[in-house]
Structure formats: C-alpha cells, structure tokens
Structure 1
Amino acid sequence: MCSKLIVVAALVAMAVARPEDTPGYGYSAPASGSSPAQYDFNYAVKDDYSSNDFGHQEDRDGYGAQGSYYVLLPDGRLQKVTYSVNGDSGFVAEVSYEGEAQYPAEQPAYNPTPSYA
C-alpha cells in the first residue's frame, strides 16, 4: 500500500513540475505572418559515355507550381513532361516525345561449330 502511495505521489510531482510554456513534440502550425513557399530549382545530367541524359526544372510561387522534366529513352527518343499544379486542379501534365524510336537490327543467333581436338 505504501509503494502505491509513493508511485502516485511521484506522478503528481512530475505533473506539477512540468512548465506549461514548454513546446510539445507534435506539429505546430506556421506563424500567422509567414509567406507561402517560393523557390526555383533545376538540374541536368548528360553523360555521353553511358547515354544518360535527363533533367528537371520547377518554379513555385505560393500554392502554384510549374515545371518540366525530360529523359532520354532506351529507344533513342527524348520524353518531355511539362506540368503545372494550381489550387484544386491537381497535377496536370502534358507528355511529348522528340525523335523516332530506333531499334537495333536483330543479331543472328550464336551457333558455335563443334570442334573436336
């Protein structure tokens, strides 16, 4: 009985000792005077040795964003995606391709001739 009383007293002491102005670990809303996000970024990679060619560009001002990205496909075409995001319209994308798909000529099957030594 005495140990229960000690545990209850310790819990009460911890509750009273906690300062009320200590911020919690949960989410806190941004300050009322903060402005919406604004940024501009881009990157590009072009490696002739491994035939890598891709990039991305995006601008954002407030709640709307627009941008594009591209990638060189294995068949030789360049795929471009231009997109925008405005309010409740969601992600609106337009996809286009540049170039003609190229497929290598089919190689004959490998049929080794038997060799008897």
Structure 2
Amino acid sequence: MIAGLTWLVAFQLAGELVTRVADLPVPGPVVGMLLLFCFLRLRRYDDAGSIVRAGTALLRHLQLFFVPAGVGVVLYLGLIGREALPIGVAMLGSWFLGLAAVGWTAVALERLLGRPRDDLGTA
C-alpha cells in the first residue's frame, strides 16, 4: 500500500514539475494522471499491483475528498449567493458546450469510421 501511494504521489509531483517548468495552464495533478496512465499502459500492470491496490483503497473513501470542496462552498456562500447568476450561466453554458462537443465528435467519428447510424426513430 505504501509503495502504491508513493507511486501516486510521485506522479503527482512529476505532473507539478512538468507544468511549472513548461508553464502549462493545466493543473499539475492532471498532467500527473496523464503520465501515470501512459506509464501503466506501457508497463502492463496487473490487478494485484501496488498502484492498483492503493487507487482502489482511495476510491473506497472517495467521499472524504469532497469535504474540502464542501467547506469551501460553505465558507464562500455569501459570495456565491451574490454571484449566482454568472455562476449559473457559466455552469449551464459549459454543460451545453460539452454536450455539443460530444455530439459533434460522435457524428464526426461515425462519418470517419463509416459505421451506420443507429436511429431510434425508425420502426
């Protein structure tokens, strides 16, 4: 378990270093997860490996990772209330843009791969 946690923290640190050195506008942990993904794909890990065991143990207690975010929301509840309209518009707009991007990507992949459409409207 300690070895797996060490690997996870090492990849997070590597991601932080990459983003700081390359001055990337991406959070370090995201780059670290990408590096970890590439490492695991190249290494051919097994389900009993230390990284998988540590990740599974962390996922079992995932709800604890939401506590700091919840405390932050409660701490800034007044500000969130004053800025509710811009926050709501941003959330709705980003949801719609994400939905549209997924739809356009699916249509483009359908055309690219030449797969037939599976329309539910035809009987």
TM-score w.r.t. length of structure 1: 0.18
**Rg comparison, structure with higher value:** 1
More strand by share: 1
* Structure of higher RCO (CA pairs closer than 8 Å, 6+ residues apart): 2
